[in-house]
A and B are shown apart, each in its own frame.
Chain A
Amino acid sequence: MIDARDREIIEALQGGLPLVPAPYAQMAEILGMDEDALLYRLAELKSRGVIRRIAAAPNHYKLGMTSNGMTVWDVDDDRITKLGVRIGALPFVTHCYERPRALPDWPYNLFAMVHGADRDEVEAKRAEIAAILGDACRVKDILYSTRILKKTGLRLKAKG
């Protein structure tokens, strides 16, 4: 799916681009290639969906979004795709997935991450999700994060 050169490019860029006027030219030099060749490769990776977008990753906590709740829902299997798309499109939902249930411990199949300045704000947003799901949702819960135990970027390991 990706060749050795793509892999080198991904490894070099996964830490982010340098804050200089021509960041791709700088990275191309490190990689021993032309800037045009690097941009061409990146455009190709983007067209194949390996690169989703080129953007800044904000730090929620530093922006005052200190409360984060993983809302979980047991949604009718026949309706989850249609409803999931609507939940994922809400501006305050940062991640939204269908995942398998783990019965009997875990009846929930829809996970939507909600961020807010405090728990009241998160609860208000959660109520908006509940209103959209309506009777398609049987049981629901919310799990607040109380501590970050580990956070490393999702890094591609160097392959020998």
Chain B
Amino acid sequence: MKLDGTDRAILNLMQDDLPLVSHPYAAVAEELGIPESEVLNRLTRMKDGRVITRFGPFFDAAAMGGAFCLCAMAVPTEEFETVLTKVNAHAEVAHNYERTHRLNMWFVLATETPEGIVGTADAIERETGICVLRFPKLQEFFIGFRVAA
């Protein structure tokens, strides 16, 4: 979909932390000097066009008591689809990407408890016969998640 200058201004503004107020879209509208209804119409269009995935609170999963771990596997090409089916069958696998490396399958495990990470990664190793390397975060250098629209 085509974005105009106003769409981009909305998108850029809304990637920053917005105040927790009863009428958040009115606050954005006021900042940009356009009616609230226009902000809502444009947001609806951008959401329908999948330019915006979602709008709302970003939760820190670890603060909610969950556990996360980036994992990688070196999957032989001829087994790739078979292994993929087995890996993705686990609901704990949140994202999974094919990447250009000998370690060619990278996924994030999201579980309720730290033990859940070990259990799921071990289960994937048993089911596939392939080592699951685990890269939990030690430090996060968190600034944000911004794209200049």
Contact = CB atoms under 8 A, between A and B. Distances in A.
The interface residues of chain A, by DSSP majority, are classed as: mixed
A62 B64 contact: no
B53 A54 contact: no
A17 B95 contact: no
Chain A interface size, as a band, is 35 or more
A50 B59 contact: yes
A55 interface: yes
Contact of B137 (A25, A43, A63, A99): A99
Interface of B: 1, 11, 14-26, 36, 40, 43-44, 47, 49-61, 63-66, 68, 70, 72, 74, 84, 88, 91, 93-101, 103, 105-108, 110, 112, 133-149
10 contacts: A19-B47, A53-B58, A54-B17, A55-B17, A55-B58, A56-B14, A56-B52, A59-B51, A109-B138, A143-B103
Interface of A: 1-2, 7, 10, 13-17, 19-25, 35, 39, 42-43, 45-46, 48-60, 62-63, 65, 70, 80-81, 84-85, 87-89, 91, 93-100, 102, 105-106, 109, 111, 115, 141, 143-157, 159
